[in-house]
Structure 1
Amino acid sequence: MGGFDATLHPAARLQIAALLARVDEAEFATIRDIVEVSDSVLSKHLSVLVEDGHVRLRKASLGGRQRTWAALTRNGRQAFTAHIAALQRLVDDAQARITAD
């Protein structure tokens, strides 16, 4: 079934993409708290998403501390949309088979 994106498929990365799809960008700590992962786990997931061109990071100083913001790229949005559509087709097919029985 086409449209599945192996980079986005792990649950934490899918949550990150879903969060970023709703905003222009989100601060690292906000993403960490919503996804409920440690700093190191989030860093690893963001690194993979950046490597595949799904996310871009912006670093800036705020209140004397270095902060990181993440945003979906255009390719990331397209990949997320295609992945969600593929998941929806999978659910729809399963639901049709369940109700047919």
Structure 2
Amino acid sequence: MDGSVRDMQYTWFTSGKNWRKTGAFGPWLVTNDEIRDPQDLAISTWLNGNRVQHDTTQNMVRSVAALVEYISRFSPLEAGAPGGVGKKTDTSLINVRRGCD
């Protein structure tokens, strides 16, 4: 099923696909004390173990603050753990890489 709001989607894809209690995020979340400068974060896309894209938030068209403000118009952002997020029972399955190559 494609749950889209077409009139919003045509203005910007994210608003047409995400609204309260929907939308994916992750795979990792961090608290704001772990981020020195939100405008200087590395962004990489990996495909089959190979990095295929790499840049930073500094080069985005919109600032991180502007994106948070915009997204909060249609998808409420609340403090605390997101709903449905809990501790995995088998933590040996978690493989997290910190930082960039």
- Shorter chain as normaliser: what TM range? under 0.3
Higher RCO (Cα < 8 Å, 6 or more apart): 1
What's the TM-score, normalizing by structure 2?
0.27
The structure with the greater share of residues assigned to strand is 1
The structure with the greater share of residues assigned to helix is 1
